[in-house]
A = this chain, B = another copy of it.
Amino acid sequence: MKIGILTGGGDCPGLNAVIRGVVKTAVQQYKIDVVGIIDGYYGLVNNKIRGLTLEDVSGIMPRGGTILGTTNICDPFHYFAIINGKKVYGDVSDKVVENIKNNGIDVMIAIGGDGTLAIAYEFFKKGVPVVGIPKTIDNDLFATDVTFGFDTAILTATEAIDKIHTTAESHHRAMIVEVMGRNAGWIALHSGIAGGAHIILIPEIPFDYDAVIKKIYERKENGKHFSIIVVAEGAKPKGGDVVVKRIVEDGAEPRRLGGIGNRVGDEIEKMTGIETRVTTLGHIQRGGSPSPFDRILATRFGAEAVTLIAKNEYGKMVSLRTPEIVSIPLEEAIGNQRLVPLDSGYIKAARLIGISFGDK
């Protein structure tokens, strides 16, 4: 028997721990071979495959990234690429099924977010035995309590906020830290509470600049001449974001406009005259050695995925129902987002200790 494994979508600490967990369990416990697909689905289309032995996964758990590589956007059902010199558009999923067969792969393990898992489910419907392993640094996958990578991202973001804290205090500034979270504010919420933020802005709670500034002034009146504001990249002011259109002299549109963090900084400075500084954490949140929590969860996901295979259970995804790892049908898992519930205990506690969400 032979398992093929691929990692899809954005980088996430813990991917290597999953791969190691899969290989160790498959090879040692069940005498199943494992091969790795290079660069996600792209490698399945293009037959980029490598063996994965115990030696290959030795020592990889503490490393960020994925030894298999990944591509953010590659959907074999809607493919656009250059194969053997020819542009190929459209559906190459049959080619993928053929490649899987020709490489002697009996089962596929797909590690990825909603997109990667949805594609995996399509292949399952086409007859490929598939097991999914959920991955999202934003923690916004519906069907699992939490995914690996999130805890590490929180560590990284909190460390950064800790560093900014002392500067804010020494300089009497409003410091804005923009963290990841396009649709869900989990990272901002957790790192904001842990980092001692005074204001947290998340996509789930549209904010009001007046409320933000009220909180800053309230602190000032209590002798606190600085504020820490953690902003999820997807946070939005009530009534929608200002449309910012910038024109560079040479006519080109710059692709990297400042995000919401910069706009919040500008707005506060404009409205209050208080000096602001904005830090956009960006990609450092996706890197680094995975935290112990993430290493353990990723290892358990990997081991459990192989166990499902050993029991011939396909079309499923492993999932954390604290503290157990369970499996659920891929069908149920995909297409649903896990946003921060407004009655979340985290939000409740944050409000109790005086954190403002900019909504009142």
The chain A residues found within 8 Å of chain B, CB to CB, are: 7, 11, 15, 20-21, 24-25, 28-29, 39, 54-55, 58-59, 61-66, 69-72, 145, 151, 154-156, 158-160, 162-167, 169-172, 175, 190-191, 193-196, 222-224, 242-250, 252, 254-256, 258, 262, 265-266, 269-270, 277-284, 286-289, 291-293, 295-296, 299-300, 302-304, 306-307, 322-325, 344-346, 348-349, 352-354
Contacts and interface: CB of A to CB of B under 8 A. Distances in A.
A288 B279 CA distance: 15
Contacts of A59: 165, 169, 196
Contacts of A354: 24, 28-29
Contacts of A303: 348-349, 352-353
Contact of A166 (B58, B65, B278): B65
> By CB atoms of chain B within 10 A, which of A58, A65, A292 has the most?
A292
Contacts of A171: 11, 69-72
28 contacts: A11-B166, A11-B171, A21-B352, A24-B353, A59-B196, A63-B166, A65-B167, A65-B169, A66-B170, A151-B293, A160-B284, A162-B289, A164-B283, A164-B287, A167-B283, A167-B286, A190-B296, A242-B250, A244-B254, A245-B247, A245-B249, A278-B282, A279-B282, A280-B282, A296-B346, A299-B353, A303-B349, A323-B346
B166 A287 contact: yes
A300 B247 contact: no
Contacts of A165: 59, 62, 64-65, 287
Contacts of A291: 155, 291
B353 A25 contact: yes
